[in-house]
Chains A and B, each alone.
Chain A
Amino acid sequence: MHLAEAVLSGNRLALARLLTQVENGTPEGVAALDFLFPFTGKAHLIGITGAPGTGKSSLVNQLARAFRHLKNGASERRVAVVAVDPSSPFTGGALLGDRVRMRDLAGDAGVFIRSMASRGALGGLARATASVVQVLDAAGYDVIMVETVGVGQSEVDIARLAYTTLVVEAPGLGDDIQASKAGILEIADILVVNKADQAGADNTERSLRAMLEMAYPSKGYRGHHGVRSGEEAAADMSQMPAWVPPVMRTVALDASGIEELAQAILQHGEYLRATGEWQRREYVRLKNELDDLLRAALMARWQSGVRDDDYRSVLEQLCARQISPYQAVARLLEFGIQAGGANDKL
């Protein structure tokens, strides 16, 4: 428990070490999460997703700087970053290179950056990302940005974890806009056209706006000033209008548009709080976490009761088409249930 206590008192080495324990799911990590949980729930969790190369890490770098400068009343905001990169499914190794873009944050004691490998999880985050974020939250970081792996269209995990999700697009990465856009509106609270300095940014922005127009035809979407739609929504909260994701242009290399983007993120936070949506998202997030943990625990319980040989023999019968996949599952469940209760690990 002493690691967790040291984390609460602001010890950064203890924090780093605890994050490792939590990431590895060790008993000490789990116990620390139990201890720290009452201290969580204060941070604004921000997700940053989008295809590799769109500039997510560069944006995180700039946004972190912006949040450090934008005071919250009299107090400053402490910022944490969790950057997730993929693990190789073959070797389990990973090359975590997001820090390369975050060198401006070095030397600022109010910023903490942690790289994470996805370790086989497929939704754009690692299995332990939510827990890592909880520790950072308890450690007193006011803003926690989570950069996802950024592959595919299935990055819904981040929208479940974050209060505000940014979907980053950039021109010049193959303009198969339709394909990559499926599902974006379900997860985006703010759409970012990064690399606005590059040719094609207008096209990228136009197609995003066209998509929004289709999704929000009757919501009075005005189409030109991205921030305004959010502002208006926030200003008129008594009627609880839907939040229309603003489309914002940025250049992460020279920070243009970043201050506005940081403001829009904070506005979105205010909107969520004023409409009760913040609590609703929290509820959904914790429910998801509970269900995920339950699933993993059941899985572990089952697995501890199955011998490799039994598993393999069922698999062989399945491959020989002696039994169907459903029958195979039924058989394997029997094994697991029989021995499961005895050596229950979780």
Chain B
Amino acid sequence: MFKNEEMEINLGPQHPSTHGVLRVKLRLDGETITHCKPVIGYLHRGVEKICENQTFFQGQVWTDRMDYCSAVANNLGWAEANEKLFGITVPRRAQYIRTLLNEFNRLASHLIWLATHALDIGAMTVFLYAFREREDILDMNEAFCGSRLTTTAFRIGGLREDLPPGFEKMARKFLAKFPTCLEEYENLLSENRIWKKRTVGVAMLSAEDAIALGVTGPVLRAAGVPYDIRKAFPYAAYAEMDFEVPTQTAADTYARYLVRMAEMRQSARIIQQCLDGLPEGPVMAKIPKILKPEVNEVYHATEAPKGEIGYYLVGEKGSINPYRFHVRAPGFINLQSLPKMAEGGLIADIVAAIGTLDIVLGEIDR
């Protein structure tokens, strides 16, 4: 008399908890997800192709608009990939300032993750507190390069300008209060029973699966793999910094939360070291007016807040445009693990799974 039927529903593309325009096709058996398929491409602008039609100098503005929550990290990868292609050495002071801004950016990105992830799961308070701290970081971005989100912070060969007067004071003021703020978030969440019920044991992704799928960033480190490009292949000034790579072994949503919180502490530590040991000197290397590569190809990977962001550039002899440009976007690759995390779980937990991946659709669709 009763028939067991599966139901198909669409989550998104305009659902607030999908962090943009992600559509997830779900097949449900009661409340259990039996099949899950992310559909992407709603925000496709063809950034890679646009960059191929522009000069190496102009390309940076498009990297801002990929992962708009961590534009500085994207800029850093782009600038360093180009420096590798042209064989430019960046002055030491510029390296330090890049590291400094990159870590501030990591804080901003993790704060926005914490805010939205907690909001998705139902903790409204943290949302506003985290945005309050992020505001200070955006103000520092504005002080340094004139824009809050689309920073275009670096130039090939160094920086456009040195740190503005008053920047160091702002940064130190922020660092002084940030540990208290972190404690506040942890008091609100870490032991909270509702938070734990929604996160512990939810959206598991084992280390083998994570490696097989190419997942990087905090999601991989929460599975117990201590892989961080800042340590494994140091770039910018990370070789001179003293920091740890936090890992967890539980591989669930709660472990990823713990990893990201610990990462924020480490970022604050790196910023402190950068500020204390900021060397004097120029911030821009001598570069030719028009950049023309010999035939050459580079792949440069950096650790963006979301995982490994890689830039693949092919230069053509005598041409001022890249012949081929490709981005290995961390969000795009991490999203592939969503079916693995969600299938077999409850429909309410897919929101936690999307949140814990920390995706930004601007970067996935490019």
* B is bound to A: no
Interface residues of A (CB under 8 A from B): none
